[in-house]
Structure 1
């Protein structure tokens, strides 16, 4: 009796496959508006994408010995970039991790 309850509780607590994250790959097909072709299956638009800092423009300014300079650390996505993404929120959002 107690073993059956424990087995049922373990089975019920197991996450469903739709609740897990999947690693996916895609290609940027447009930047304005942003669109990514995900593994030749679907076209993702900006409302379904969450961008990490590594795929957004990031320029820093540093000063060494009184001289200032700036450098671009990360550039924004451009058409043709291949990216890795995590499918999250039960497949409703895609977190764009990095270029590959």
Structure 2
């Protein structure tokens, strides 16, 4: 993969992660966290789509490697919800 393709993949993952986080209502961090959330969301979203037998929707090919945009956004939102709930639950103080 070339540097341009890799940077484009990072940009798309960051956008998908940021959109997923905003849909979930939880911000997990900055740009680097959005990139990670975008990649994890793509894995989660594609896994859910495969288990339910759903087709790939709005898939972008970057140098022959497919990246599922819609499933990445949905997976990112699910991931952000779970992490947000876990963070909120573990942040309780004992008074």
Q: Which protein is richer in helix relative to its size?
A: 2
Relative contact order higher in (CA < 8 Å, ≥ 6 apart): 2
Greater gyration radius: 1
Q: Which protein is richer in strand relative to its size?
A: 1
* TM-score when normalising by structure 2: 0.25
* TM-score when normalising by structure 1: 0.24
